[in-house]
């Protein structure tokens, strides 16, 4: 089968298209004929540092959508030709290939009115946002939320989830992306390049601060998120944890670490099954036209290295999808 191969840990220039044997599913596994994959920052980050669990050449790609091609023993819930999508295990071969292997119990079904490309756009960014907003922060209609990095995948999905709930959303983005984040539902957009973000948030909220924060940029912005939280407010972090000090405890502020893919290497089967449950809840919103998957580019397998290079600039809005069939 054709696959995009990482020859060794290092830069994305180590990626090239080559051939691998067709993988066979083991017990509780399915083989998926890949139709679409999503590009994510985690791909170039893990390529750079490598993984002791990998054999080279290694196949990257965590967000996969396609059709079940074969099932291993003990698999009862899936049959050939079922349309599925999933978030893969970082320790195993991924989906930048014509065929991929995944565990049956972490896989979700694609509704007939949702495309493979839209399904592939969801897992890493969409389910990180869903877990943060719905499961951890428990955002409510009366809440005001600061969504950091609103033009990116996680931020863009989170804005839409919050607006479906009915919350007020403040987001940060470059000025040229303000129209984009407002089209997703953001009530206020702050240019982090030219404005003092903390001061603007306090101005917008009449000095009260926000109820919830999704820290999706880095440690520094996570610290700013804690600073603008109301008493008993909460922050969910996906890109670095804030500093915890006496003021954090005095404000009764809750801090959550989001590591969506950590369920795979854990021994917690309930958490693994929940990957599929959250995926089904999220794709139902897409099927009902309540969430847009924000696909900005559709490319081929051969174009993936260039797409990852774009992601490395950290100035890509929405999602980049590679389609194979």
Residues 145 and 107 in one domain: no
Report the pLDDT value the prediction gives residue 296, as an integer from 0 to 100.
Answer: 93
Q: What is the count of structural domains for the chain? A: 2
If one counts every other C-beta atom within 10 angstroms of the C-beta of residue 184, the result is: 23
Residue 248 maps to a domain: yes
Residues 11 and 32 in one domain: yes
Residues 112 and 144 in one domain: no
Report the pLDDT value the prediction gives residue 249, as an integer from 0 to 100.
Answer: 65
Question: Which residue reads 């306090």 in tokens?
Answer: 202
Residues 153 and 239 in one domain: yes
- Those residues of the chain that have pLDDT short of 70 are 247-250
Residues 133 and 171 in one domain: yes
Residues 34 and 98 in one domain: yes
Residues 139 and 247 in one domain: yes
Residues 112 and 23 in one domain: yes
Which domain does 90 fall in, by range? 2-121+294-323
Residues 41 and 133 in one domain: no
Residues 132 and 197 in one domain: yes
Burial 187-210 (b: 16+ CB within 10 A, else e): bbbbebeeeebbebbbebbeeebb
Report the pLDDT value the prediction gives residue 250, as an integer from 0 to 100.
Answer: 67
Residue 51 maps to a domain: yes
Residues 155 and 180 in one domain: yes
Q: Quick one: tokens of 48?
A: 């750079």
Q: Give the separation between CA 27 and CA 250, rounded to whole angstroms.
A: 50
HEC letters along the chain: CEEEEECCCCCHHHEEEEECCCCCCCCCEEEEEEEEEECCHHHHHHHHHCCCCCCCCECCCCEEEEEEEEECCCCCCCCCCCEEEEECCCCCCCCCECEEEEEHHHCEECCCCCCHHHHHCCHHHHHHHHHHHHHHCCCCCCCEEEECCCCCHHHHHHHHHHHHHCCEEEEECCHHHHHHHHHCCCCEEECCCCCCHHHHHHHHCCCCCEEEEEECCCHHHHHHHHHCEEEEEEEEECCCCCCCCHHHHHCCCEEEECCHHHHCCCCCHHHHHHHHHHHHHHHHHHHCCCCCCCEEEEECHHHHHHHHHHHHCCCCCCEEEEECC
Residue 275 maps to a domain: no
């Amino acid at each position: 089968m054709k696959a995009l191969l990482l020859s060794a840990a290092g830069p994305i220039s180590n990626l090239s298209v080559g051939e691998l044997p067709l993988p066979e599913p083991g017990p509780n596994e399915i083989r998926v004929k890949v139709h679409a994959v999503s590009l994510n920052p985690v791909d170039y980050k893990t390529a750079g540092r490598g993984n002791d669990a990998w054999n080279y050449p290694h196949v990257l790609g965590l967000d996969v959508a396609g059709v079940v091609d074969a099932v291993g023993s003990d698999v009862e819930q899936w049959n050939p030709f079922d349309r599925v999508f999933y978030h893969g295990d970082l320790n195993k071969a991924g989906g930048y290939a014509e065929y991929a292997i995944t565990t049956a119990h972490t896989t979700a079904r694609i509704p007939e009115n949702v495309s493979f490309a839209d399904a592939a756009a969801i897992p890493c960014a969409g389910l990180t946002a869903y877990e943060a907003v719905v499961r951890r922060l428990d955002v409510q209609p009366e809440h005001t939320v600061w969504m950091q990095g609103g033009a990116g995948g996680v931020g863009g999905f989170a804005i839409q989830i919050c607006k479906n709930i009915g919350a007020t959303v403040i987001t940060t983005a470059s000025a040229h992306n303000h129209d984009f984040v407002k089209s997703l539902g953001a009530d206020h957009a702050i240019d982090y390049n030219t404005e003092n973000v903390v001061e603007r948030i306090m101005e917008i909220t009449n000095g009260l601060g926000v109820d919830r924060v999704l820290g999706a940029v880095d440690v520094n912005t996570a610290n700013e998120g804690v600073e603008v939280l109301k008493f008993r407010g909460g922050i969910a972090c996906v890109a670095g944890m804030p500093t915890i000090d006496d003021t954090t405890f005095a404000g009764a502020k809750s801090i959550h670490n989001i590591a969506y893919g950590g369920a795979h290497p854990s021994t917690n089967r309930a958490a693994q099954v929940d990957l599929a449950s959250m995926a089904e809840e999220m794709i139902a919103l897409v099927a009902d036209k309540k969430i847009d998957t924000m696909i900005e580019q559709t490319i081929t397998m051969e174009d993936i290295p260039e797409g990852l290079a774009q992601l490395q600039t950290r100035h890509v809005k929405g999602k980049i999808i590679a389609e194979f069939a």
